[in-house]
A and B are shown apart, each in its own frame.
Chain A
Amino acid sequence: MINATNVHKFFYTPDRLHALRGVSLSVAPAEVVVIIGPSGSGKSTFLRCLNRLEYADEGSILIEGRDILDPDCEINEVRAEVGMVFQSFNLFPHLTVLENLTLAQTTVRKRGKAEAEKKGMELLRKVGIAEKHSVYPDQLSGGQQQRVAIARALAMDPKAMLFDEPTSALDPEMVGEVLDVMKNLAREGMTMVVVTHEMGFAREVADRVVFMDQGSILEVGSPDRFFTAPEHDRTKLFLSQIL
């Protein structure tokens, strides 16, 4: 499904920063991979490389066999198949909740208005927010906004979903509602790559947990093994700091 091999990424800000140092990761269909690590470890950068919001400088990234680092790659087609959920929601503030869900359906998937709205309402019901379909995003709580953002990504019928710290900007009591939506999604067999600090979620839902530090993957393992018997010292230190 997702095959990243030896991915390097440099930032020039303006000093050269080696953000990713040869990251390799494969994600099988219906697999849920959770990436954890300290801030600045490159986990968000890696996630953003997967749908080319950041252009990886070296290595190869295949999404369903399509090489997205190939300049001739139809990246918009690939992105339509890979949903993304952001830390700061990034809902379109000038559109109502339902319009947020229908915009890409009509422009990218070329669906009719009625079909797109039907699909949109279905998804809003699924994330439990159907009654808010005609309000604007700034009238919603953070948790509601993030659920709308997930529904917006799902409206494209993606084959995989990328989550970039989806609960980090939420008030504590709203984290649960978003995680519940994500858990349901995982149960339904969605391929997911999740960057998060929610260890409970990782333990419960993840098929594999990836630990990143300083631009490299230090450790990969099943949640059980990862949280109970980490191998790497850096992993142990990190877990002891946050658990």
Chain B
Amino acid sequence: MTQYRGLDKPKGRGFFLFWKAMFVAAMLALVAFFWVASSSVEYIWRWNRVPQYFWVNEAADVRAEAEGDVTIIDRQGNEQRVVVRDASGEEHPHMLPGEGTVLVSTGDFAYRGDVLGRYQLNKPGILLEGLWITLEVSVLAIIGGIVIGVVTGLCRISINPMLRWGSIAYIEIIRGSPLLVQIFLWYFVVGTLINALLEHVGLGGISPLWYGVMALALFTGAYVAEIVRAGIQSVHRGQMEAARSLGMSYAQAMRKVILPQAFRRIMPPLAGQFISLIKDSSLLGVIAIRELTKATREVVTTSLQPFELWIVCAVLYLVLTFTLSLFVQYLERRAIR
């Protein structure tokens, strides 16, 4: 924050101008390097084909699934219905959205695969859907991580051996094993058991997304716990003494005096942890959650444009993490005391 410029020989205006210019130059050099690199690889850049993965806006056909006469064309609520009756007299309804155009009329004969109607498809593309899943998983895991972290952090400094050792064991196990392995274990081992039990009592299984959120929240919680513990211990012990000497209980003092002060201090390390979490969510692709990375991989296999799409993927992660970073800076400024 404060820069103690007086500690060294004062720097003149030229110093700052020069180094600012050097920064710009370094950035330009970096851009130039990538420019040269990208034009020297044998690769046809087709950026114009990227937007379709963000937002799908294309004509879609409704094709006949049976062969026969078109018997009925009517509206069913918001949709239009085209009924084709085949030779055996069975009716095959085909639905298309209300604003679509029906291209046949009653009495026409439709072969299998004929276009019955056409409408404009207008929906988020796979990348945007992936981004949304990443955001959703991250937000849920951050909330879970904060709750788990604060509780564990408090247990970590409790005098109760069970709570203290329990939290230490949890922290060490989680921090000491790879997240990928944890995700596998949660989904394939714990998840299988839980889903089997749920099925046994007649309930539906839990979707992979929630196992992913759980794995991420528990993983982040262990790191948050240590951050919270350090934050609590960094508050001067006089604060606890003052609060207790007024007759407040330990819990009251913690909630009203210690934690509010601790939270201000742990905001920057927490932000770093949550930025990590957003990036770590890219591992969830392994348990069939189609988050941003998995979505990108799928698009790459169909489009065969790896470079554009991975760059786009990286930029989208940057948008998420940078937004979070700005948000935390805003919180820090607001809670400057």
Contact = CB atoms under 8 A, between A and B. Distances in A.
Contacts of A134: none
B27 interface: no
B239 A79 contact: no
**Do most interface residues of chain B lie in helix, strand or loop, or is the interface mixed?**
helix
A142 to B, nearest CB: 15
Contact of A79 (B245, B257, B261, B337): B245
Contacts of B252: 107-108
A51 B256 CA distance: 21
A92 B239 contact: yes
B122 interface: no
B63 interface: no
**Do most interface residues of chain A lie in helix, strand or loop, or is the interface mixed?**
mixed
B38 interface: no
Nearest to A79: B247
Nearest to B246: A104
Contacts of B249: 76
Interface residues of A, number: 27
A92 B257 contact: yes
Interface in A120-154: 136, 138, 149, 152-153
A74 to B, nearest CB: 10
B248 interface: yes
A156 interface: yes
A81 B246 CA distance: 8
A40 interface: no
A42 B244 CA distance: 21
Given A88-B238, A107-B256, A136-B337, A94 B247 contact: no
Given A53-B245, A79-B247, A93 B238 contact: no
Given A76-B249, A107-B252, A108-B247, A93 B337 contact: yes
A108 B256 CA distance: 12
A103 interface: yes
A84 interface: yes
Nearest to B264: A94
A32 interface: no
B245 A84 contact: yes
A90 B244 CA distance: 12
A138 B252 CA distance: 23
Q: Which 9 residue pairs are nearest across A and B when measured between Cβ atoms? A: A80-B247, A90-B242, A104-B246, A84-B245, A90-B238, A108-B247, A79-B247, A76-B247, A94-B260
Interface of A: 51, 53, 76-77, 79-84, 86, 88, 90-94, 103-104, 107-108, 136, 138, 149, 152-153, 156
Given A53-B241, A93-B261, A94-B261, 12 more contacts: A77-B247, A79-B245, A84-B245, A90-B236, A90-B242, A104-B246, A104-B247, A107-B248, A107-B252, A136-B337, A149-B242, A153-B245
12 contacts: A53-B241, A76-B244, A76-B247, A79-B244, A82-B245, A86-B241, A92-B243, A93-B337, A94-B264, A103-B256, A107-B256, A153-B245
